[in-house]
Amino acid sequence: MTMHIFANIVTDYGTAANNRGETEGNTTTLQKLIWKGAVHTTVSAEAIRFETRKHLASMESGGTNRTWNEDTRTNDWQKPGFDGWAKENGDTFIDDDLLGYMSAEAAKEEGQAGSAKVRRAVLEVTRAVSLTPWPGDTTFNAASPGATPSAAKKGNNPVPYGAEIHATRYQYGIAMTPDRLRQSDRAAKALQAIANLRTVAGNHGRFLFDFSPAAIVFRVTEDPAPRLLYCFGTPDAGHTLSADELVRRVKSGDINASELIVGGELATTDSGKALAELGADVKDGIKAATQAVCDRIAKVSA
Amino acid sequence: MIGLYVTVPIASFRRGAAREYWETLPLPSPSTVYGFLLSMVGEVDRTCHIGARCTAGVIGHPDESTVLRKLWRIKDKKLGLGNGSNVRPDYQELLTDVRLVIWLDSSEEVTESEGTLQQRVAASLTTDGRSRISRFGGLSLGESTHMVDEVLPIQRAPELADESVRMFLLDKSGNFTLPVWVDHVGSSGTRNALGRLIEVGFEPPDVSRLPKIQDSKVLMTK
């Protein structure tokens, strides 16, 4: 048998304005996609992985192999050759183990084969999608003359600029097969990092968007299909949560309720109560739910 | 023949020739479907079920969006991975709410050491069968972040009678080619099937019209 850990996560309600270096005129835009027929804002899986790596670095005394250097605006590497992976008992970094790596070298001469060092990520993350459609909210602001070296270099006029913003929650999913890790205790560390995720999406200091879970649904199972991705909905524009589709799938027999551990805001909702009645382990807190999953992993691994 | 109902909330089925702009195909190619089925049953040897026939059909019309992705590439080796010109933003087309029908037939498979792919997939859909499978990784169609959410035998799929399905089926006078085998080192070993997207229902298609998984070595020995 193989144990898989799946989770669907939804953040708290907040105001997102993710600056990702793209503008339309002087307005910073949000990344968007069509979701269930309406425009929703989205945050890439890579952005979530970036913040997860930062959190993993703070959890390990040896840090991570790759760290983002805020001063030089470049990635710093401890072992860019991924040396430890060549030996069975070699020293490896937690971020390489969980998030994978790829270092491809082209052939040096015509006719020769190139080489590649590749490790598939064990912790897989999906794109985050806003729980509610984007209504088109944009703020217009003005930087006063001389506020920054780049604003109003000449004259005394303020510099107007805009930012697309979205008051919403974001939901995304993860998958992990703990057996595939070089060090098994890293599975629990990965879940702790996700449970304590911080600033994935945000525009400088003005729009801090907390990406820690407000509610989380774990599934510990042998089933290769998660059957819970993007399962959160909202009956009232994002203020409260529901998971009607998840309840339906448990009732239909596609998900065994005993495989589910639910934590956070969903616990007190009708969906949370229904899941508890069906046999899911429902906790009030995110930390308690995460710990319950870590305990299950430890029990199976023992 | 076995039929599956598969949902992928967000997907991108990249065209083989796409470079800076990552266009998506309307549905996964037979080679992608084959890889997905191998992953589902925990098979890491992709030559294990040569001769299997498989294809996908897309239900309805998924929404299409374009997003900006930051991608790594090596333009300047001195700069290091992910720095300076070794990173650039590229556009990628995404499909959302992708629902697929997948058909698989193993009657022409070459090796059957652990059972045919059809038998193994059928077993993986049962509680007892999947407990005997050793596999790893999130189940995905295309990129690893584009995770599959649900896989059901087609008989257990939700009521689909009113939906249209566009399925890739072989057709000698077709207007669409999709790979049945991808050469990941060069492109000389990549093999394509000529076919057409055809509006069909939820009945199993004619087996002879399902693309056959064949690698270049098999073709050369024939």
Q: Tell me what pLDDT residue B68 has.
A: 86
- Identity of residue A48: I
Of A49, A269, A224, residue with least CA distance to B139: A224
* Cβ separation A124–B140 shorter than 8 A: yes
Residue B96's closest CA among A229, A228, A181? A229
| CA A66 to chain CA mean position, Å | 18
Summarize the confidence of residues A70-85 as an average pLDDT: 90
Residue A222 has pLDDT above 50, yes or no: yes
Say if strands A27-28 and A138-143 run parallel, antiparallel, or are unpaired: unpaired
Alpha-carbon Rg for chain A, nearest whole angstrom, is 22
Q: Does the distance separating the beta carbons of A75 and B82 come in below 8 Å?
A: yes
Q: Which residue in chain A has the smallest CA separation from B81? A: A75
Strand partners, B153: B4
Q: Does A224 touch chain B (CB under 8 A)?
A: yes
Closest-CA residue in chain B for A228? B149
Of A275, A165, A167, A166, nearest to A216 (Cα)? A275
Summarize the confidence of residues A140-163 as an average pLDDT.
Answer: 80
Q: At what angle do helices B30-41 and B117-124 cross, to 10 degrees?
A: 60
Residue A282 above 60 pLDDT? yes
- Average pLDDT score over residue span B130-141: 91
Average pLDDT, chain A: 91
Q: A221: number of CA atoms within 13 Å, CB side?
A: 24
Averaged pLDDT, A74-79: 91
pLDDT digits (tens, 9 = 90+) for B44-87: 998 899 999 999 999 999 999 999 888 777 788 788 777 888 88
Report the pLDDT averaged over residues B11-15: 92
Is there a contact between A2 and B94 if contact means CB atoms under 8 Å apart?
no
Interface probe for B, chosen from A1, A22, A72, A108 (most Cβ of B below 10 Å), is: A1
